[in-house]
Amino acid sequence: MTERTPEALPRVARPPLAVTALVLTAVYAATASRYDYHRDELYFRMLEPAWGYVDQPPLTPLLAQAAIAVFGDSLWALRVPAMLCMLATLWLAVLITREFGGGPRAQTVCAAGLAFAGVSVSMGHMLATATVDIPVWTAVLLFTARALRRADPRWWLAAGAAVGVGLYNKHLVVLLLISLAVALLVVGPRRVLRSGHLWAGVGLALLIGAPNLLYQALNGWPQLEMASVIAETKGPDARVELLPFQPVLLALMTPIWIAGVIALLRRPHWRGARALAVAYPVLLVIVLIAGGQMYYPLGLVIALFAIGCVPTAEWMRRGRWREWTVIGAVGLNTAV
């Protein structure tokens, strides 16, 4: 079987996606002020606009300052960018589901399952660099999936642009690129690594991220020093927590993203994109060695969940009890 063409893709299931987004927005808005400032949010309020800081790039602090300028200096205002980031992640994830042939049922499972799943809920209630990183990673993976599934190298340019934006938030997106590159070397298609469009995408990422990279270079790469300090002080605990924490990332939706990994590895017509599955254990190894935090792989887990919604929807069609099992799991996950 050949890869799907854009014309063969199912339509976007806008009604369930819109309803889920509205419900999620209402929940965020109603609960955004129920606890006080997080220390990171207080820190972002203090920072003056700059190309970079000792401990991080400028994007999240600039979003905080922009929200304050628009909505006023309030707790609720700082939470607006976080809400928007998670809503963007929801839409991007559904587009990944669609990219792998997921119809309305699969897209509905993706939207409803992701909207209230574990860490993805908490990230929408607090403005942190990790909150902004999630839609960046999801966008990179959507464009990567399109480049691989459609055999259309022009999508590498879009992926590169997303990476360039991500460099203004965290340099962790580089770990995702390394994981994908290793996965492509291991399972292919290796010809992708020789694509002029892919390397043009790399160049575009560097061009867009150049001001922040220049700041880092002129100031002795302070973020690398900061990363070293974090790994030294938090690394031992993070290494212990990394693997046990993975099933908690999306809570009861864990079987669905595992189904995504299995389907990528087993389905012949998804062969061109199976590097997405192999990238996950590669990323785990990198994070484990580096002593990174347990939530670092979340962006990739969300993409695998979105893919897993396709075989999940197919499984649901084989019996009413299966359908109600998934509906119950999504409902229970939402209640929790």
pLDDT band at 251 (very low <50, low <70, confident <90, very high): confident
What integer is the mean pLDDT of 137-148? 97
Average pLDDT of the chain to the nearest whole number: 90
Residue 169's pLDDT is 92
What integer is the mean pLDDT of 258-284? 96
pLDDT band at 12 (very low <50, low <70, confident <90, very high): very high
What integer is the mean pLDDT of 8-24? 90
pLDDT per residue as tens digits for the range 205-238: 999 999 888 888 888 888 778 777 877 788 888 8
The torsion angles phi and psi of 150, rounded to 5 degrees, stand at -90, -5
Q: Say whether pLDDT at 4 is over 80.
A: no
pLDDT per residue as tens digits for the range 146-163: 999 998 999 999 999 999
Residue 239's pLDDT is 87
Q: Say whether pLDDT at 255 is over 70.
A: yes
Give the least confident one: 50-59, 90-99, 132-141, 225-234. Answer: 225-234
Higher model confidence: residue 119 or residue 58?
58
Which candidate, 110, 119, 163, places its Cα nearest to that of 141? 163
Q: Say whether pLDDT at 6 is over 70.
A: no
Residue 311's pLDDT is 97
With helix as H, strand as E and coil as C, how does the chain read? CCCCCHHHCCCCCHHHHHHHHHHHHHHHHHHCCCCCCCHHHHHHHHCCCCCCCCCCCCHHHHHHHHHHHHHCCCHHHHHHHHHHHHHHHHHHHHHHHHHCCCCHHHHHHHHHHHHCCCHHHHHCCCCCHHHHHHHHHHHHHHHHHHHHHCCCCCHHHHHHHHHHHHCCCCCCHHHHHHHHHHHHHHHCCHHHHHCHHHHHHHHHHHHHCHHHHHHHHHCCCHHHHHHHHHHHHHHHHHHHHHHHHHHHCCHHHHHHHHHHHHHHHHCHHHHHHCHHHHHHHHHHHHHHHHCCCCCCCHHHHHHHHHHHHHHHHHHHCCCHHHHHHHHHHHHHHHHC
The torsion angles phi and psi of 62, rounded to 5 degrees, stand at -70, -40
Burial of 116 (0-12, 13-18, 19+ CB in 10 A): buried
Q: Say whether pLDDT at 5 is over 60.
A: no
Q: Say whether pLDDT at 2 is over 50.
A: no
Q: Say whether pLDDT at 278 is over 70.
A: yes
What integer is the mean pLDDT of 257-266? 96
Q: How many CB atoms lie within 10 A of CB 230?
A: 16
Q: Say whether pLDDT at 267 is over 90.
A: yes
Residue 7's pLDDT is 53
Higher model confidence: residue 55 or residue 17?
17
Round to whole Å and give the CA distance between 84 and 100: 25
Residue 280's pLDDT is 97
The torsion angles phi and psi of 5, rounded to 5 degrees, stand at -95, 160
pLDDT band at 1 (very low <50, low <70, confident <90, very high): very low
pLDDT per residue as tens digits for the range 162-215: 999 999 998 899 999 999 999 999 998 999 999 999 999 999 999 999 988 888
pLDDT per residue as tens digits for the range 299-312: 999 999 999 999 99
Sequence-ordered list of residues with C-beta below 8 angstroms from that of 121, at least 6 positions apart, any chain: 115
Round to whole Å and give the CA distance between 120 and 122: 6
For the stretch 180-189, what's the b/e string if a residue is b when 16 or more beta carbons lie within 10 angstroms of its beta carbon?
A: bbbbbeebbe
What integer is the mean pLDDT of 97-116? 94
pLDDT per residue as tens digits for the range 52-87: 888 888 999 999 999 999 999 988 899 999 999 999
Q: Which amino acid is at 67?
A: A
